[in-house]
Amino acid sequence: MGKHLVLVGGGHAHMTAMAKCGDFIYKGHRVTLISPSPYQYYSGMGPGALSQTYRPQDIRFHVAKMVQDRGAVFTRGQVVRIDAPGRVLELAGGERITYDVVSFNIGSGIALHEEAAAKNHVIPVKPIINLLKGQKKIIREAGHHSLKLLVLGGGPAGVEIAGNLWALMQNLGKTAEITLVAGAQLLRKMPPKIRTLALSILLPRGIRILEGVHAQIAAENRAVLTDGSHLEFDFAFVSTGVVPPPLFRDSGFSTAADGGLPVNPFLQSQAFPEIFGGGDCIHFQDRPLDKVGVFAVRQNPILHQNLLNALEGLPLQRFVPQKDYLLILNLGAGVGIFGRQNLIFGGRPAFFFKNWIDGAFMRKFQLSGERNEPENLI
Ligand SMILES: Cc1cc2nc3c(=O)[nH]c(=O)nc-3n(C[C@H](O)[C@H](O)[C@H](O)COP(=O)(O)OP(=O)(O)OC[C@H]3O[C@@H](n4cnc5c(N)ncnc54)[C@H](O)[C@@H]3O)c2cc1C
């Protein structure tokens, strides 16, 4: 008899399962996708969209249409509790959805205390749509006065945001004072050559980089630094590291320290074998993985196959993560930094390469005429 597969979150690791959901339906199963938005915004191109290199339509997948066109059900909503023994998902509006097999790809968010997150001028860099909404606010305000833009966090995302804020202001023909508070050190976990390249691109643009200090949002337009000083800002982008949503912990699961769903090499929960997961929200028990889209993308075919096999009672496949991965940073204005092991270089070729890789991923899963749609930021 047919079973019910529920995909929670239309993230990067669910792309193949969504695009090929006809495979499940062909075998007689039902498929439901639950997501708060009909769109999934591709993080790799988010900073580029901030600087207007890309339009919102260029960087998103219409996941609702993707699954509906293939016979699945799309439910717009957010899962707030999992009753794993009962195999029931509870949505924010109170709706309850039962499942036989469920897969979670609900990503991660910026750990920001509620008070700071509620501020209109504070923009957590996840979800990625925040970058697009933040850009609109900047464009409105830049018409009135020269802006003070603050970026909190000196990791790859913070560097990309600072670089693309500069590029946005160049495009607008407006001035801004851009400050990046990097924590201990800019790109601390990256090879020194990448850090040197990033500094050689950002500093000549007039971007101020503060190292050896951390900052916290103290008021609507003010951050306080660990050295006791204050920084005023018009907009602050917060990129201080990501954590999985509290859903698994709130549902009484035994989670990893960061709240992630522990999964075995089959991307399957040990405690509840009918539960699978991929992307930033899981804790890969064999070897904790960096929270980068590269792994989510690589999990796609395994997750698709294992969900099908779980429904059909067939053996599962192992996900074997690569030891290292290619990272290309987009620093705005067509300039990037390419890094894979000892091959590191900066400049236009690095951005060209990133644009080409990202474009290929978009072409593969933009199956619903996304580029011809109106902007509609939802
Ligand atoms: C600015 C920035 C740039 C980045 N650039 C790169 C890059 O170039 N390369 C790279 O490899 N990585 C990059 N990353 C990291 C990358 O964003 C993440 O690793 C990637 O987004 C993980 O994908 P995901 O599918 O797990 O999560 P997400 O992309 O966050 O998708 C999760 C989805 O689940 C939905 N969801 C959340 N909660 C629920 C719920 N309770 N119920 C239902 N649905 C839910 C969300 O709405 C969302 O659609 C970047 C990150 C940032 C912040």
pLDDT by residue, tens only, the chain of 378 residues: 799 999 999 999 999 999 999 999 999 999 999 999 999 999 999 999 999 999 999 999 999 999 999 999 999 999 999 999 999 999 999 999 999 999 999 999 998 877 777 788 999 999 999 999 999 999 999 989 999 999 999 999 999 999 999 999 999 999 999 999 999 999 999 999 999 999 999 999 999 999 999 999 998 899 999 999 999 999 999 999 999 999 999 999 999 999 999 999 999 999 999 999 999 999 999 999 999 999 999 999 999 999 999 999 999 999 999 998 999 999 999 999 999 999 999 999 999 999 999 999 999 999 999 999 999 999
- Decide: 80 and 250 in contact? Cβ < 8 Å: yes
Are 98 and 212 found together in one domain? no
The angle, 0 to 180 degrees and rounded to 10, between the axes of the packed helices 156-172 and 192-202 is 20
Count, residues in the chain: 378
353 located within any domain? no
Q: Where are the alpha helices (DSSP H) in 27-120?
A: 46-50, 63-68, 114-117
Residues facing residue 39 across a β-bridge: 62
d(CA 354, CA 108): 23
- Decide: 299 and 125 in contact? Cβ < 8 Å: no
Report residue 6 as tokens.
Answer: 């529920």
pTM of this structure: 0.96
- Decide: 157 and 290 in contact? Cβ < 8 Å: no
Q: Where are the alpha helices (DSSP H) in the chain?
A: 15-19, 22-26, 46-50, 63-68, 114-117, 129-142, 156-172, 192-202, 247-250, 293-312, 348-365
Q: Which residues contact 8 (CB under 8 A, 6 or more apart)?
A: 34, 35, 79, 89, 102, 103, 104, 105, 106
Are 152 and 129 found together in one domain? yes
d(CA 67, CA 70): 5
Are 142 and 31 found together in one domain? no
Q: Residue 141 belongs to what domain range? A: 111-241
Q: Which residues contact 61 (CB under 8 A, 6 or more apart)?
A: 10, 15, 39, 40, 42, 362, 365, 366, 367, 368, 370
pLDDT at 198: 98
Are 156 and 175 found together in one domain? yes
Pocket of ligand 1 contains residue 245 by CB under 6 Å: yes
**What's the 1 CA to ligand 1 centre distance in angstroms?**
34
43 located within any domain? no
What's 276's domain CATH number? 3.50.50.60
Pocket of ligand 1 contains residue 107 by CB under 6 Å: yes
Are 104 and 119 found together in one domain? no
Are 122 and 90 found together in one domain? no
pLDDT at 219: 86
71 located within any domain? no
Pocket test for ligand 1, best of 34, 43, 82, 331 (most atoms within 8 A of CB): 43
Q: In what order do the strands lie in the sheet with 343-347?
A: 327-330, 336-340, 343-347
Pocket of ligand 1 contains residue 217 by CB under 6 Å: no
Are 177 and 81 found together in one domain? no
CA distances (Å), origin 238, targets 150, 352, 373:
8, 27, 30
Furthest CA-CA distance within the chain: 65
Are 201 and 219 found together in one domain? yes
- Decide: 88 and 97 in contact? Cβ < 8 Å: yes
Which residue's alpha carbon is nearest to atom 15 within ligand 1? 292
> Measuring CA to CA, which residue among 130, 105, 131, 147 is closest to residue 14?
105
Q: Which residue, chain included where needed, has tokens 């796609």? A: 300
Are 149 and 218 found together in one domain? yes
56 located within any domain? no
**What's the 190 CA to ligand 1 centre distance in angstroms?**
21
Q: Domain ends where: 263, 297, 312?
A: 312
Burial class (CB in 10 A: 0-12, 13-18, 19+), 309: middle
**What's the 280 CA to ligand 1 centre distance in angstroms?**
7
Report residue 332 as tokens.
Answer: 């705005």
- Decide: 34 and 7 in contact? Cβ < 8 Å: yes
d(CA 186, CA 175): 24
3-class SS at 287?
A: coil
235 located within any domain? yes
Pocket of ligand 1 contains residue 292 by CB under 6 Å: yes
339 located within any domain? no
d(CA 113, CA 298): 32
Are 196 and 118 found together in one domain? yes
Are 218 and 141 found together in one domain? yes
Pocket of ligand 1 contains residue 129 by CB under 6 Å: no
Q: Which residues contact 311 (CB under 8 A, 6 or more apart)?
A: 3, 5, 24, 27, 29, 100, 101
Q: Domain ends where: 241, 275, 291?
A: 241
319 located within any domain? no
165 located within any domain? yes
Are 104 and 137 found together in one domain? no
Pocket of ligand 1 contains residue 139 by CB under 6 Å: no
Describe the chain by its helix, strand, coil percentages, rounded to 5: 35, 25, 40
Q: Domain ends where: 312, 347, 370?
A: 312
Domain count, the chain: 2
